Structure 1
Amino acid sequence: MTVKFFEKLSNNYIELLDDKEDFNIIINVGESPNTKIFQAHSAILRSRSLYFRNELANISKDKNNIKTLDLKNVTGQHFEIIIKYIYGGIFLLENHNASFIFELIAHYF
């Protein structure tokens, strides 16, 4: 029972990433023209990541109460895995080859 509850909870948090309402953070990932945009929630990022807690403390909100963070040194593919881990506590690596996984671990963990 407990395992199923936590699995569903993790999935619900990951689904927040696809929800285009109530976000208050925009994260631009990668270099142009390959920039990927993620919409996120400061409460989740701050509570689950010391890195984001520190970064978001130094960014001002725009007129729409949105903070924008640019992460040029991260690829969109890597960041998608990282943010899903932050939100849901799980790594979804089954569709990636070993070299991609090793690169992810070597650079960010």
Structure 2
Amino acid sequence: MLISPSEIKDRRANPRNDLISFDVSGQIDGGPLTHDELIGFMFNLFIGGLDTVSTNMGLQFWHLATHPQDQDALRADPTAIPHAIDELMRLRGGHHLSHLQERNNDPWRDDQTRR
């Protein structure tokens, strides 16, 4: 089990500044969430987060494995890594929405028109 019943009981009695405390104080139609609703909600958050993280990391690693010039650029300038992560999350995100990008002006990527 992801969250034990004693953890939920403790968070109700001693709320903290975290997601579990926020969840246990939540209401649906004016009433508190049941224990089963809390467990289900927390399970969905865990699975959703796990899938999102693993998918994004896998796609970013795939990109770097298939684009050695990007690996070289990041090795040459490690200060570009935070920006590269942001761009890889945008470019290779684990979502199924399509997007239109007229021009790629990112200095560490090729400058091609994409559709």
The structure with more strand, counted as a fraction of residues: 1
Coarse TM-score class (shorter-chain normalised): under 0.3
TM-score (norm 1): 0.27
TM-score (norm 2): 0.26
Pair member with larger Rg? 2
Which structure has more relative contact order (CA 8 Å, sep 6+)? It is: 1
